[in-house]
């Protein structure tokens, strides 16, 4: 759609402390647009999990969010290691995160399942050694 509103973010892969800043900003922007609170919550939780994944599994990447008349689309793109087995990665509890990540509160293996649960559609495009692009949509 021509009148789509778009937001672009670079997600720093070096910095766990700043991880989630893009999602926080998107949440603010969507609030300003006056979208319903439950939609905003679903978008921001899904994006937050994806943003954290880019930082802990893929050295960062980019996030693009567009808002059209009928949906919010989130595209998370990284040049990380890729996901060898998507079906396995989608299972609740599956995680390759290290103990040090786990001690920070992540690595429960619930991120991808949460992202799927909170969005109306989710596509994972991934190639080993090249990177991962995840496209999620929440219908308005």
Partner 1 sequence: MKMSTIRDLLGAEVLCCEENLDHDVFSACGSDMMSDVLMYVKDQAVLLTGLTNPQVIRTAEMMDMRCIVFVRSKRPNEMMISMAEDDGIVMMATTMRMYDACGTLYTNGLIGTAAHV
Ligand X SMILES: Nc1ncnc2c1ncn2[C@@H]1O[C@H](COP(=O)(O)OP(=O)(O)O)[C@@H](O)[C@H]1O
Give contact residues for ligand X (rule: CB under 6 A). 53-54, 57-58, 78, 80-81, 83, 89, 94-97, 106-113, 132
Closest CB to Mg ion: residue number: 111
Residues 33-72 contacting partner 1, CB under 8 A: 37-38, 41-42, 44-45, 48-49, 52
> Which tokens in the block code for residue 127?
């190639």
| Distances from the Cα of 72 to the Cα of 29, 100, 113, angstroms | 12, 33, 19
Distance, CA of 33 to CA of 90 (rounded, Å)? 32
Task: Decide whether 39 or 110 has the Cβ nearer to Mg ion.
Answer: 110
What is d(CA 96, CA 58) in angstroms, rounded to the nearest whole number?
Answer: 12
Helix axes 37-58, 21-32, angle to 10 degrees: 160
**Contact with partner 1 (CB under 8 A): which of 2, 3, 14, 17?**
17
Give the binding site for partner 1 (CB under 8 A): 16-20, 23-24, 27, 37-38, 41-42, 44-45, 48-49, 52, 102, 104-111, 114, 117-118
């Amino acid at each position: 759609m021509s009148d789509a509103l778009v937001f672009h973010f670079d997600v720093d892969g070096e910095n766990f402390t700043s991880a989630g800043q893009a999602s926080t900003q998107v949440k603010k922007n969507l609030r300003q647009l006056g979208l319903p609170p439950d939609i905003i919550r679903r978008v921001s939780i899904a994006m937050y999990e994806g943003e954290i994944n880019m930082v802990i599994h893929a050295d960062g990447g980019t996030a693009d969010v567009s808002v059209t008349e009928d949906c919010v689309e989130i595209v998370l793109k990284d040049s990380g290691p890729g996901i060898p087995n998507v079906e396995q990665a989608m299972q609740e509890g599956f995680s390759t995160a290290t103990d040090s990540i786990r001690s920070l509160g992540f690595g429960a293996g619930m991120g991808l399942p949460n992202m799927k649960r909170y969005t109306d559609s989710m596509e994972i495009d991934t190639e080993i050694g090249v990177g991962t692009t995840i496209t999620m949509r929440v219908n308005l």
